[in-house]
Amino acid sequence: MTDGWDWRQPGGSPTPPASGAAPAERPTTFPGAPSGPTSPWWSDALTDPWRDPRSPAAVIVPGPVGAAGTEPEPVTDPDAPGRPRLRQLLLIPLVTALLASALGGALGYAFAVRGGVTGQPVLGADPADPPALAQRRPESLAGVAEKVLPSVVTVRVASMGGTSEGSGFIVSAEGHVVTNDHVVAGGTGKATVVFNDGSTASASVVGQDPESDLAVIKVTRTGLRPVEFGDSDALAVGDPVLAIGSPLSLANTVTAGIVSALDRTMQAGEPGGPTRYYAAIQTDAAVNHGNSGGPLVDSAGRVIGVNSTIKSLVADGQEAGNIGLAFAIPINQAKRVTQDIIGTGKARRTVIGAQVGGTGSATGAGGVRLATVEPSGPAAGAGLKAGDVILRLNGRPMTDPTDLIALVRKFAPGSVVTVEYRRGSARLNASVTLAADAK
């Protein structure tokens, strides 16, 4: 059985068909088909011998991978992470912003509800670090006030004329309190003390010294904080001070000022009562009725004076008020008197051993004239005589008899002072050792 072809081994040439048979169609070639002899049995055959011989066929064999002029088709892994698209880049910050806005709104609403304010504007700027003066350091005025206030009390004394009220301060852990004599004068010897925290306790009068306007009372209570004493002799004009007390029944009041003057000689007292002399510390810190007996403290919180009296422009019988002229007993003098009262129940009075008879202004040189001199007194021991005119005491000029009395009482008994005086036309100097009054 024959199909018109002479089958040969690969690489041979086809045999023409027998006579009468239709000539075989010329094999069709395609681009990329191999050149050279073809064989119907191999993959390069251009016709399929098992099909209709007249039906052309072609088998295209691709060239070898990496052949010149060809590149393999790139293959993309669908699971590999790819570069974000523009829409994704815009979507991420938008979602983040929305979430942050929602969180901020929720927190703001929660804080507003907690503070009791909703739908209201926020008042004030963002908080900043406070300045140094507002940080309440121990040396600041606020720090000093905080230190001293627990040691300051209000003193109330009942008497036949009503209730007298003043201030005081604790000077010992045993309960001793210093105040003015005029606060407790006329009372029954009993007092009520109101502490800084509002608690009260009864107190008894230990002793009084009307001429120095000082008194000591004692309260029975534990855990008391005594004040710290300063040195009134070391003060200078212009030093800052605080006055603490209960002016007009306003407890725990603190006012600030400066030392306006030193050794301001004072003569005070009520009609029919004792005359008080002292060389006072003058201050412009606001002091009113009720501050009497309270402490005047320096910038370190140390007591340097006892607030005692004020000057006013009102007429007699009218209520006086602060005009920036207040006076305090120097603490060195007050401390000495307090120790005397606690130790013996009364205070010693410092004297020079002479009586003043007026000023020496008639001679045109000022000074204070001595009317009499006690034969065995301090002045006589220093060589002073009646008629001598005292010009200066420890460098302080004398212009009024009050000056000599007040300045002498400022010093403790046994102190040595220099006296410049005039006798006739001569100017002389002497050292006088002051003594305590015999009474």
With DSSP H G I counted as helix, E B as strand and the rest as coil, what are the percentages for the chain, rounded to 5?
20, 30, 50
What tokens appear for 242 in the block?
Answer: 């605080």
CB proximity list for 48: less than 8 A, separation 6 or greater: 40, 55, 57
Q: Which of 292, 308, 388, 403 is catalytic?
A: 292
182 neighbors 161 (Cβ within 8 angstroms): no
What tokens appear for 158 in the block?
Answer: 């009942």
Q: Which of 213, 284, 298, 388 is catalytic?
A: 213
**Phi, psi angle pair for 284, to nearest 5°:** -100, 5
Alpha-carbon distances of 421 from 39, 358, 389, 427, rounded to whole Å = 159, 14, 5, 6
Q: Is 176 a catalytic residue?
A: no
What tokens appear for 387 in the block?
Answer: 């008629």
d(CA 190, CA 93): 81
435 neighbors 351 (Cβ within 8 angstroms): yes
14 neighbors 6 (Cβ within 8 angstroms): yes
Q: Which DSSP string corresponds to 104-168?
A: HHHHHHHHHHHTT--S-PPPSPPP-PPPGGGS--TTSHHHHHHHHGGGEEEEEEEETTEEEEEEE
What tokens appear for 318 in the block?
Answer: 């009218």
Contacts 24+ apart (CB under 8 A), 96-100: none
Alpha-carbon distances of 411 from 171, 319, 332, 408, 432, rounded to whole Å = 21, 34, 9, 6, 12
Q: Is 213 a catalytic residue?
A: yes
First to last CA, the chain: 175
Alpha-carbon distances of 417 from 335, 395, 409, 414, rounded to whole Å = 20, 9, 12, 10
Q: Which of 151, 182, 246, 260 is catalytic?
A: 182
What tokens appear for 260 in the block?
Answer: 């306006």
Q: Which of 31, 62, 58 is nearest to 45 (CA)?
A: 58
d(CA 49, CA 12): 16
The catalytic residues are: 182, 213, 292
